[in-house]
Amino acid sequence: MVGSAYRKTGKRVVLVPLGRDIHAGHLALVQAARRVRGGVVVVAVEPDTDIAALKDVDVVWRYGAQSQRTRILAPDRGMEDVSAELTRIVALTCALGSSDVVMGEKDYELLVATQQAFTDLNIGARVQGVPPVRMPDGVVMSLRNAGVDPAAREQASALSAALTAGAYAAESGAEEVVRVAREVLDAAGVEPEYVELRGRDLQEPPAEGEARLFVAATIGGVRLTDNAGVPLGIGFKNLDQQE
């Protein structure tokens, strides 16, 4: 197997699990993987993926879309169900014997669930999160988001605007963060499926410290999700004082 062959040489095996239709967000994950010292970058893609855009990759692994008899159930936190994708990533990681797995923070719930699964199952791989690539209007780069009708783009951009506004209200506490985010969505005529503020581990947010703001809404017939970090109870202008 590719992973064991490289590990015998003392190299780190860095897995970048992707799907189909490579875009700029995926390329950012590959670049982050390339920065792992002494790492061999292995990109896992579905068999029919066009890989022409992939650069600086050591190995492209076209994994089979075979059904999994075993399914890892991620905790139900009332937002996204990531169990199927979590099962896929754990299976790929174990099959490859990865030392590192690079994932996008766009799917933050999946990122956290993956790290927790690795810990619980004693899988010795490290999860590294990479900030999402955004289009000029603030919408996160993804296959799903690219499918939003041009007439609905302004509403779609309201999600990132709501996250930004909410994050900048961090100094005033959790309730104000959520209120401000909802206010921005309401002004844009967006009815959110949820606006949630959680701790870094997706539990209750701290009174002061790092938190995460999540939003989901269906716009132009496409269900969109987004999230952003929030220095809760601190505020961006006071971050230097916390270091």
SS3 content of the chain, % helix, strand, coil (to 5): 40, 25, 40
Q: Report how far Cα 123 is from the mean position of its chain's Cα atoms.
A: 20
Tell me how far CA of residue 167 lies from CA of 19, 91, 194, in angstroms.
Answer: 30, 35, 16
Which residue in 13, 14, 18, 26 is the catalytic one? 26
Is position 23 annotated as part of the catalytic site?
no
Going 136 to 35 to 27 to 116, the CA torsion angle's sign is negative
**Per-residue burial over 38-57, b = 16 or more CB atoms within 10 Å of its CB, e = otherwise:** ebbbbbbbeeebeeeebeeb
* Cα three-residue angle 1-100-82, rounded to 5 degrees: 100
Helix/strand/coil for 176: helix
77 residue type, one letter: R
Active site residues: 26
